[in-house]
Structure 1
Amino acid sequence: MMAFGEQTGKRTGQDPIGLEPKKRKVEFVVPEDGDDKEFTAEMYKRFLKTALSDLEKNETTQLDMVANQLAQPANSDQRISAENLSVLLDVLSKNINKIDSSKRAPLIQSIINFEKWWELPSYTLNKYMLFVTILCSSIPKWWQDVSMSLVSGFNLSPEKTVHHHSLLKYFLQMIPSSMGYIDMYLVRFFPNNNDSSKNLVNYISNLLTLTTYCKELQFQAWSLIVERTISLDVALQNELDELDDDIEDFEGDDDDDDNEEKEEDDTNGIPDEDIVAEDEDQDDVPESELEGEEEYNVKVSQSIKDLSTKLDAILTLVTGRLQEELTAENLQAGDGVTIFNTLTTLFKSHVLPTYYTKSIQYIVFLISQQQIELMDSFLVTLIDISFSPTETSEKKIKSLQYLGSYIARAKKLSRTQIIFVASYLTSWLNRYVLEREEEVDQPGGMERFKHFYAAFQALCYIFCFRYSLFRDADSSWECELDKFFPRMVLTKFNPLKYCNENVMLMFARIAQHEDVACCFSIIENNNNERLRGIIGRGDKDSKTSQSVATSTWSLATRQQFIDLQSYFPYDPLFLKHYKQMMKDYYIEWSEAGGEYESDELED
């Protein structure tokens, strides 16, 4: 029995169809008997065919009511039943040309945007996907709306988007020209930093699935993932910096020395620190005891935890997927090489130029260690940038920082690779001294030689972590380091003065204990010179090269240089799960040279 009136135009004792479409529903009383089910389906099919015929008379009332039922939320009792939806999709699939007009658009839009269509019973779901396929194949203009709806569903878990990807895969092959606007949708629907961790992870997971069947969008998808992850990484670092500043202001001048000491430990790459753990402890403080600045710090700490949780989940997901992709078999087939080259390109264009990221660089750190050829490739990339005549000075210094930090921390590197990089650095530094040492006596600040200092610091940092590998079978020093280092520290460049102080102190301790160089007398002399300069006892009439060079190095320029030299890209992670993932690939300071932490080795 149909619950709608006959189309006679007369009153039936009920409201005419279409007057209050949101309150009316086309449905059938479905008895238990199977034959009656078929009967009611046939009646509904006749109704739909009549409604389609009415379209030729510009009468859309019946189909508008159907569209309204389709547009109802999934939990509404006014929504079309799965049985009637199957019938509707069947009828429309066989009459696709009849709905190809602007007046039929609301009906089609309601089907495309049918809420939770992926949760329909399998029989109806198959009908739904078939209709979408017929619709977009017959009237291609609708694919733009369908693809937008599919991409907008990427915040769903991967288990719920299997059919989304089936349709995307089919039509990307059928309509390759659609990749342009699908690329725009990928950007439009990407969750922002304030969205939930779940939505961010789901979206990125679906993006990664997209790259498996659409190689043409692989670079765009990875670019988007890297850009948004950098955004989270930078936001987290800004929060950490703000928290540090606020804590320093709150604690006052009495604790300045302690704060400075902690800051040095966090930035010099030696030893390991865990930042977030300290912030999490603040959760134990009762709200009643929090006032003013302290209360503000707790709020910032919550933001830090939110950002770190998102970043941790994203990087763990992405790196895990990459490990699956970069197998020996995939590399042999060429697919793995393409992905690695894509990420190397994005490292150069996005990660390297961004200042003080803490976590995203670990993607290439780990995936490069999957195979020795990938490590070779990454090392060559860093060396090329570090010594390229066309790169900016800042980018070359950043690349040297990555080179030194990578060699120091990457556990899978071979001794051959480490010795090769050290040999390259010593050769370049020796040549630099021969060609430019005389310039130190000429007017100009020592910042002219910051490329030299960055290279020397990278080598010293490597030595601190890898000194045990630099002796050959006869206990002789590779690269003649026992001759190289004493010569370098005595040059007019005076690298022990202008490189990072903490690294130079640690290098001095290890170098002296390993009998490769004696540095403490030079460091002491540098400290005395600096002290005389601070208290105004320097010889202002002196025309020595060092006085001339130093006098033109402004405080601002010197601070900028110090900040740049204090960045160690592969300092310890503080992301809980991602740090665990790095365990087999990462060298902790305690594993490399922790015994040299003691000040007793200074003398």
Structure 2
Amino acid sequence: MGRDNGPLASSGDGYRQGMYLAFVNNALAEKRAGNLGPYMELVAQFQAPSPTSSTPNTSPTQLRSWLSALSHVVSSLDRSHSQLVENILLLPWATMSEAFSHMWIKFVCSLVSARGEWLTSVLSRAVKGLSYRSDWRALAYAGEPANATTSSAHVPPTRGQIYDRIHLLIRSLLSLIPTLPSSLAPLLVRNFPHKRDRRVVQLVYIRNILKMSEYCTELAEGILGAVVDRAIQLDVEIQVELDELEESEEAEFLDQDIGDPFDKRFDDDGDESDDESDGEEDGQSLSDISEGEDDLEEANHIIAETEGEKAISHVRDLVSKLDSIMFATFEHLNRLNEQYTKPEPGPWSVGPDAGGSKSLLSRRQHLFHTLLAIFARAVLPTFKSRHVQFLLFWFNALDHEFADLFLGVLLTKSLYGGTSETQEGGEEPAIIRAAAASYVASFVSRASYIDQHTCRAVVLNLCAFLDAHMEASTIPEMEVSSAPPGSGAHSVFYAVSQAVFYIFCFRWRDLQLTEDEQAEQGAGPDVMEAEDIPAATHVALGMAGQVRPGQGWAEGLNVVQRAITSPLNPLKYCSPNVVRQFARVAQHTGFLYCYSIIEANNRSGRVRSRQSSGQGLHGSSVSRSDSANTVTGSRRPSPTPQDQDSQSGSDRLEDPPEPASLGTDLEVFFPFDPYKLRTSAMFVEPLYREWSDVAPDEDDSDEGEGEASEDESEEEGEDDGDSQGGSGGLDIPGARTVGSHLAGDEDGDEFARQVEAMSISPYRG
């Protein structure tokens, strides 16, 4: 049958559809009888144009008539008619007119309802259609003009319109087949773009599957988990701080905007080509360099510059991808929150107490529990993550109950070992507990919506743990009492100490008692006066009279004052950056004077550094960077007996060297350090507390600081370049990979019940 002169082309409108149906029935009957002629003519109506011709066999108007006729015989279209059905499924239906798209969807829904064997083929093509398709221009149906010259001409749809049609198909199938999510899940995993794919490829697919999760709630948790996994993969690969890039280059790159790919027509994409250089220019420049020494040095310089440029370009690419994914995820969560808190009135609404609003709010709470579960199993164990955790940071601001439960989970994990579904004993490893303590510190310090009461409650919990640990370390029967200071047995103690120091630096104003509060508590019972400090400590560390009398502090902070003068000596094993800032703020506020202890720790560190390194056979001494490492908790192995014997007697100490295991575990890691992704930062900035907002007046903070030795200042200065959120963390094996959440979480309800039991807020009483 030709396009215009087929046997049905001249049929009148009154009986045309009947003639199409009669031809279809006859073709199928002839095929069963062994005559394939009419059937192959029917198949040819859906045949794609040949490479030498852009004219299809059938016009879109005729195709709609054929599909309408075939809809009456879908129960007969079994696998023996695969050629016909495959041709229909291969039609570029989503790029054609809206009328044809709706007709095609209606036919396909009828087909899979009658013949379930075609469901996999339909779903596979639908999910693939949610990805970024650069071949849509070539697949566009030539029967509909691409350029609109008349009112009846077909105007190519935008990508957003195409994706809406595919979502309509999937929603229609979901309404017909309740078990469809189980078939969709593996297809979503299979079509997930590789992390090396371009930004637009990642963004399009992730936005589409997030939209799918809004109407296919059975897959919501798995889809959100897969998106977070991809964001984490990109986040941990960014190994340099964004502010290390040249400011002008960073601005030039990050301000580039390719526009929303959903708003572009499928035949008008301007971002399909890769911008990666093929390196030909570099190869030509290097090939002309001679082998002389000067030329070789120049060649090495060019190679180094080229590698540096490639590294910067790679980081920029990662940043762009991550920023786009984070922005899309923030928008998705915000859209869901608005749906759950401001539902549109519908025909099902009977009244305010009809259950509709309550159901929506319970879905909002379920979404929070989903985010919290993903955080616990994927984000918390990933120490190099710098941005992904801000999804929960933002969501916690929506309801004080969310922030309360988040802190409850973190405190349970850090202080009491938590309940781990992955461990038989139910005890979190020390490195996870330390990470949770860092999250507590960073969250309370940086979240502007955490009020004074919650801040004090958190500090009280942290200080209670410090007090219990110090008490246990003095009881001979306790295992921890035999562990020397600085060893791994005390790693959680040091992590919690560091958390308290960090919170104090940011929230010291909220931790100070007002005059009325001191009067209520009886003149400040939690104030550690100078006479309460042991006399031996006065003599050894020169702290007499350094504690300002009469200043009241929140309950529990007296434990901090005792902890830093205890044999565990947290000022020695916590981050030098945190210790240094804590010392300044503590002195400024009159809370405590720490510089004598810090100076004593530095002297001890220098001696131990010389003992560990010794004077080699050629008389070389330890470098300053090694000395700095020793101060923070030695990262190098303890010296062997042979090494100790080779040292001079003046370099030896009577006590053994400190254990070396702690330095790696207590890397500086505060996960809510400033958010550096430019586009998605709009969600974080209104909720964020900057250091400049809370820093004490520096005019007074420098008094007495000069008493710290010059050597201390020099050695601490070695760590100024360390990033608090940089590459100091460790990756922990076991994080789930992209797509592994799509199978669902059978323990989701149990996790939610555990979370509800972890609240620290009086609001939940």
* Bin of the TM-score, shorter chain as denominator length: 0.7 to 0.9
Structure 2 contact 130–204 (Cα < 8 Å) conserved: yes
> Cα gap change, 1:324/1:398 in structure 2, threshold over 3 Å: closer, same or farther?
same
Q: Does 1:143 align with 2:122?
A: no
Aligned residue for 1:459?
A: 500
Q: Residue 674 of structure 2 aligns to which amino acid in structure 1?
A: P
> Cα gap change, 1:418/1:154 in structure 2, threshold over 3 Å: closer, same or farther?
same
Aligned residue for 2:733?
A: none
Aligned mates of 2:341, 2:91 — CA distance in 1: 42
Task: Give the counterpart of 2:665 among 558, 561, 573.
Answer: 561
> Cα gap change, 1:373/1:66 in structure 2, threshold over 3 Å: closer, same or farther?
same
> Cα gap change, 1:303/1:397 in structure 2, threshold over 3 Å: closer, same or farther?
same
Aligned residue for 1:471?
A: 512
> Cα gap change, 1:364/1:94 in structure 2, threshold over 3 Å: closer, same or farther?
same
Task: Give the counterpart of 2:100 among 124, 129, 132.
Answer: 124
Q: Residue 520 of structure 1 aligns to which amino acid in structure 2?
A: Y
Structure 1 contact 71–113 (Cα < 8 Å) conserved: no
Aligned mates of 1:189, 1:164 — CA distance in 2: 15
Aligned residue for 1:226?
A: 228
Q: Residue 338 of structure 1 aligns to which amino acid in structure 2?
A: H
Task: Give the counterpart of 1:108 among 67, 85, 90.
Answer: 85
Aligned mates of 1:580, 1:387 — CA distance in 2: 33
Task: Give the counterpart of 1:346 among 374, 381, 384.
Answer: 374
> Cα gap change, 1:436/1:354 in structure 2, threshold over 3 Å: closer, same or farther?
same
Structure 1 contact 453–495 (Cα < 8 Å) conserved: yes
Aligned mates of 1:329, 1:538 — CA distance in 2: 73
Q: Which consecutive unaligned segments of at least 5 residues does structure 1 have?
A: 5-25, 241-265, 267-272
Deviation at 1:441, TM superposition (A): 7.2
Aligned mates of 1:279, 1:61 — CA distance in 2: 69
The 5 A counterparts of 1:267-286 are 274-278=243-247, 280=249
Structure 1 contact 425–459 (Cα < 8 Å) conserved: yes
Structure 2 contact 234–322 (Cα < 8 Å) conserved: yes
Structure 2 contact 561–592 (Cα < 8 Å) conserved: yes
Aligned mates of 1:477, 1:276 — CA distance in 2: 45
Aligned residue for 1:521?
A: 596
Aligned residue for 2:631?
A: none
Task: Give the counterpart of 1:495 among 559, 563, 570.
Answer: 570
Q: Residue 447 of structure 1 aligns to which amino acid in structure 2?
A: G
Residues 211-231 of structure 1 show CA distances to partners (whole Å, capped at 9, x for unaligned) of 222221122111211112211
Deviation at 1:279, TM superposition (A): 8.8
Q: Does 1:52 align with 2:28?
A: yes
> Cα gap change, 1:181/1:515 in structure 2, threshold over 3 Å: closer, same or farther?
same
Aligned residue for 1:589?
A: 691
Task: Give the counterpart of 2:317 among 306, 316, 320.
Answer: 306
Please, what is the CA RMSD of the aligned residues? 3.2
Deviation at 1:483, TM superposition (A): 3.1
Deviation at 1:494, TM superposition (A): 0.4
Structure 1 contact 323–370 (Cα < 8 Å) conserved: no
> Cα gap change, 1:518/1:225 in structure 2, threshold over 3 Å: closer, same or farther?
same
Aligned mates of 2:698, 2:389 — CA distance in 1: 28
SS in 2 for 1:232: helix
> Cα gap change, 1:60/1:559 in structure 2, threshold over 3 Å: closer, same or farther?
farther
* Range with bigger deviation, 169-178 or 376-385: 169-178
Residues 192-222 of structure 1 show CA distances to partners (whole Å, capped at 9, x for unaligned) of 1122322322222221222222221122111
> Cα gap change, 1:159/1:278 in structure 2, threshold over 3 Å: closer, same or farther?
same
Aligned residue for 1:21?
A: none
Residues 449-495 of structure 1 show CA distances to partners (whole Å, capped at 9, x for unaligned) of 01100001001101111111112331753434663332121000000
Residues 517-564 of structure 1 show CA distances to partners (whole Å, capped at 9, x for unaligned) of 100010011001111122237878765xxx34x44x13xx2441243x
Aligned mates of 2:699, 2:217 — CA distance in 1: 50
Aligned mates of 1:413, 1:146 — CA distance in 2: 49
Aligned residue for 1:447?
A: 488
Q: Which consecutive unaligned segments of at least 5 residues does structure 2 have?
A: 133-158, 254-280, 286-297, 343-356, 418-426, 519-550, 612-647, 707-765
Aligned residue for 1:204?
A: 206
Deviation at 1:293, TM superposition (A): 1.0
Q: Residue 494 of structure 1 aligns to which amino acid in structure 2?
A: N
Aligned mates of 2:168, 2:396 — CA distance in 1: 32
Task: Give the counterpart of 2:406 among 374, 378, 382.
Answer: 378
Deviation at 1:40, TM superposition (A): 7.5
Aligned residue for 1:17?
A: none
Aligned residue for 1:534?
A: 609
* Range with bigger deviation, 173-182 or 488-497: 173-182
Q: Does 1:297 align with 2:334?
A: no
More helix by share: 1
SS in 2 for 1:493: coil
Q: Residue 518 of structure 1 aligns to which amino acid in structure 2?
A: Y
Q: Residue 406 of structure 2 aligns to which amino acid in structure 1?
A: F
> Cα gap change, 1:481/1:73 in structure 2, threshold over 3 Å: closer, same or farther?
farther
Structure 1 contact 211–217 (Cα < 8 Å) conserved: yes
Deviation at 1:43, TM superposition (A): 6.4
Deviation at 1:28, TM superposition (A): 1.1
